[in-house]
Amino acid sequence: MATGEAEAGTAYRPPTVDVEALRRLLDGKYRDVRDLVRADLAEHAAVLDEAETMSQTEFRERVKDLVVAMSETGQTGLGFPEEYGGGGDLGASVAAFETLAYGDLSVLVKVGVQFGLFGGAVLMLGTKRHHDAYLADVVGGRLLGCFAMTETGHGSNVQALETTATYDAATDEFVLTTPHDAARKDYIGSAAVHAHAAVVFAQLEVAGESHGVHAFVVSIRADGGLVPGVRVEDDGLKMGLNGVDNGRLWFDGVRIPRDNLLNRFADVTGDGRYESAIENPDKRFFTMLGTLVQGRVSVGGAGINAAKVALTLAVRYGVRRRQFNATSDDEEELLLDYGLHQRRLLPLLAENYALHFAQEVVSRRLHEVFSTEGDEDDKARRELESRAAGTKALGTWHATRTIQECREACGGAGYLAVNRFSALKADTDVFTTFEGDNHVLLQLVAKGLLTDYASDFEDLDQLGMVRFVAGQALETVIERTAAHQLLERIKDVLPGGDDEWDQEAGLLDSDYQLAMLRFREEHTLSGVARRLKRGIDEGLNPGEVFSRAQDHVIAAARAHVERLVLEAFVDKVATVPEGDLRSSLALLCDLYALSTIERDRAWFMEHGRLTSARSKAITREVNDNCRKIRPIAVDLVDAYGVPPALLRSPDLL
């Protein structure tokens, strides 16, 4: 990838960044939507100050009032059909939600609960009767709801939930019951105070037969109090997001009409017959969950955008704060002129840009998959679910790591609440575990890789995946990964063959960078397959085999997603016309790619892809790229378009 590197003997000239042009590129087709959200957040920026002084009760009410007010502008209902007051554009909905991460994150999460989880479940799992009954009031903020899936005793294992919904043919009702305390619904946003209804996930039982987990609309509050049989307990203070009223729910024989079953994928007739067009119960379950992927996409984007706020603060502080007389007797050095400070912040900036463009791909595919008329493309949906899971995991881990590093880079000033880092750290910390624990999500990614997204295996659980791999000839798995073909492609990129790996030439070639990440991905994946097969051949229990290989499984999934992220960045750079804007993005892309290789240099050296000399050359190139990005770093964060009112931080800016 050409980066405009200076020829020998000439001084390096950094590219000039047109901040507005770069902002237009980052905002993409939904710039108007993002600007609407920016303006609304700036108008209500006072909530950032109020959050630190209000009581928990006052903060919750303030957040709820803001969410209801936002619903009146249309920005929160963009993903719903126009006939119910929405915007009919799923991509616009994700763009709006991501941009909310520039402001108070309790507001973002409350919006996510109301419109993404509760409303989204009614939209995606219900049919016209449910849409007509609920959606207009959901979109208008008149019916506040919650999403009651997670149980204390099962966490991410949704298929094993224990709340029951038993059909009573005599009254044509379902009876919801929490059989014991570990089956209570927990951590449910809006359950403690504000929600009047809930989408409850429960095991459906008809005539003594269990049909697995299904979703129901359940009234939990009416006439100023709880519905009989519903018990609610406040989760209390949390590490962050205390403007969201999380709570626990129990159901003691709560009766709901038969029509309250969200019946897109299954139904119960009046005479007590269970019906579903999807005969396989596992496939039915995973199909149901797959329709709720928007929440996962949105949380990943929110994490990436929250990290943008931290990077904006830290980079701008780095060109304001001076410390020590490093190069002058008369003036102290700016923090960002120190090589170490550049090393701390600028690779994270490059990674943020990379993840932004990877998130753009996921959001676009979400819109395409769920906007397609006619037959649903199961393969496209599985690929979307996998990519969304992986991008969410990397994006939210990036947010946690970036916010901490930026806080440290701002020293004592970063520790003051007024400078936003305390709220950013506390409020985003849970992003790594809600909408799916990141490690569990990467196992989902690995499952998709190991089964090659084959429709025959889409509903495999972990043990099923082990048995599938164990039952195949190892050569088949290795052939699918085509590691030997990949090596040939790498040799094609580097004309000198294997010896060329030891030379510095080609480090800034995107083909070389992608080949390195592809080799790691496919080699790691074939290694997982070998470990699984070897364990089965040795007679070990399949569950134990998988448990022993989980570290390898996660490594393979992460390698896959990092390759996808780099591909998205490379592809985006290729769409930008030659000039300074493209040169700026190319510098960031090279920095992301080489930093990723450098971070895993031990693996590449163990597998013969890096010599010590070439490893050192990559480190030199990373340092050099940081120096080249330093003059344009402020422009690069300004292009994020975080409104000044939301940056606040008088000690940093």
Residues 300 and 160 in one domain: no
Which of 100, 115, 144 delimits the end of a domain?
Answer: 144
Q: Provide the number of structural domains found in the chain.
A: 3
Residue 3 lies in a domain: no
Which of 257, 281, 305 delimits the end of a domain?
Answer: 281
Residues 92 and 188 in one domain: no
CB of 249 closer than 8 Å to CB of 184: yes
Residues 253 and 302 in one domain: no
Residue 649 lies in a domain: no
Residues 220 and 341 in one domain: no
What range defines the domain where residue 264 resides?
Answer: 147-281
Residues 385 and 451 in one domain: yes
Residues 623 and 474 in one domain: yes
DSSP SS3 for 150: coil
Residue 1 lies in a domain: no
| Segment holding 633, helix H or strand E | helix 633-638
Residues 126 and 162 in one domain: no
Residue 287 lies in a domain: no
What CATH number should be reported for the domain holding residue 419?
1.20.140.10
**Which pLDDT belongs to residue 195?**
98
> What is the four-CA torsion angle of 392, 398, 401, 403, rounded to 10 degrees?
-100
Residues 102 and 212 in one domain: no
**Which pLDDT belongs to residue 525?**
87
Closest CA to 201 of 134, 262, 130: 262
Residues 547 and 398 in one domain: yes
Residue 263 lies in a domain: yes
Residue 646 lies in a domain: no
CB of 281 closer than 8 Å to CB of 205: no
**Which pLDDT belongs to residue 455?**
36
What are the tens digits of pLDDT across the range 307-334? 999 999 999 999 998 787 767 677 788 9
CB of 424 closer than 8 Å to CB of 310: yes
Per-run averaged pLDDT (10 residues), the chain, 653 residues: 48 92 98 96 92 94 96 93 96 97 98 97 97 97 97 88 97 97 97 98 96 97 96 97 98 98 96 93 89 94 98 96 74 90 98 98 94 68 93 98 97 93 97 93 88 42 49 40 42 44 69 93 86 82 84 94 98 97 98 98 93 94 97 98 93 81
Residues 488 and 365 in one domain: yes
Which of 126, 144, 162 delimits the end of a domain?
Answer: 144
Residue 214 lies in a domain: yes
Q: Give the angle 643-648-649 at the CA atoms, nearest 5°.
A: 135
CB of 161 closer than 8 Å to CB of 201: yes
Here the tokens at position 447 are: 């499952």
What CATH number should be reported for the domain holding residue 209?
2.40.110.10
DSSP SS3 for 267: strand
Residues 85 and 159 in one domain: no
Residue 617 lies in a domain: yes
**Which pLDDT belongs to residue 539?**
83
Alpha-helical segments (H) within 72-196: 90-100, 105-111, 119-125, 128-130, 136-139
Residues 454 and 376 in one domain: yes
Distance of CA 615 to the CA centre of its chain: 31
**Which pLDDT belongs to residue 214?**
97
Write the DSSP string, 164-221.
Answer: EEEEETTTTEEEEE--SGGGSEEEETTTTTT-SEEEEEEEEEETTEEEEEEEEEEE-E
CB of 387 closer than 8 Å to CB of 363: no
